[in-house]
């Protein structure tokens, strides 16, 4: 496959994702608020600069299907084909974690043979801040 074919397939994949995402209702813009100040107060220029400085910091986002506790003995006995029972029922929403903190729940979607996640419930900003403390 040539580089042109790869580029075409990537553009097609991007179109598939765009159409899948367009099926969802357009979310309303979220206005970040300061939790130390009264609601409705806008940010000063220096506050905006501070906020802008952290918006590009990379974070790790992960989707958790479930968890299981096993002994080290059982862990060492795992091999290809082993099945580990998880604490979730099939069809239950996935947890969406950012740097280990729960921020949302979602469901698996498949677009052009690739997995994605559609967010079904997002934890409020206030609740996320409380969990950080």
* Rounded distance between C-alpha atoms, residue 84 and residue 92, angstroms: 17
Q: What is the structure's pLDDT at 23?
A: 62
Distance in angstroms (rounded) separating the CA atoms of residues 105 and 66: 12
pLDDT digits (tens, 9 = 90+) for 21-79: 666 544 444 444 444 444 555 677 887 777 778 888 888 889 888 899 999 999 999 99
pLDDT (0 to 100) of residue 119? 92
Lowest-pLDDT range of 15-19, 24-28, 83-87, 98-102: 24-28
Asked if 102 contacts 131 with a C-beta cutoff of 8 angstroms, the reply is yes
10-20 tens-digit pLDDT: 556 667 766 66
Closest-CA residue to 32 (of 24, 42, 22): 42
Q: What is the pTM of this model?
A: 0.54
Beta bridge partners of 59: none
Q: How many CB atoms lie within 10 A of CB 94?
A: 20
């Amino acid at each position: 496959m040539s580089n042109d074919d790869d580029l075409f397939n990537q553009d097609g994949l991007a179109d598939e994702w765009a159409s899948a995402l367009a099926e969802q209702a357009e979310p309303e813009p979220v206005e970040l608020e300061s939790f130390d100040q009264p609601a409705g107060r806008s940010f000063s220029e220096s506050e905006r600069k501070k906020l802008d400085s952290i918006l590009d910091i990379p974070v790790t986002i992960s989707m958790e299907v479930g968890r299981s506790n096993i002994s080290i003995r059982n862990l060492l006995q795992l091999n290809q084909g082993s099945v580990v029972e998880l604490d979730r029922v099939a069809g239950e929403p996935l947890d969406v974690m950012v740097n280990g903190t729960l921020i949302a729940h979602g469901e698996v979607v498949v677009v052009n043979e690739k997995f994605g996640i559609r967010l079904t419930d997002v934890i409020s900003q206030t609740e996320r801040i409380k969990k950080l403390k």
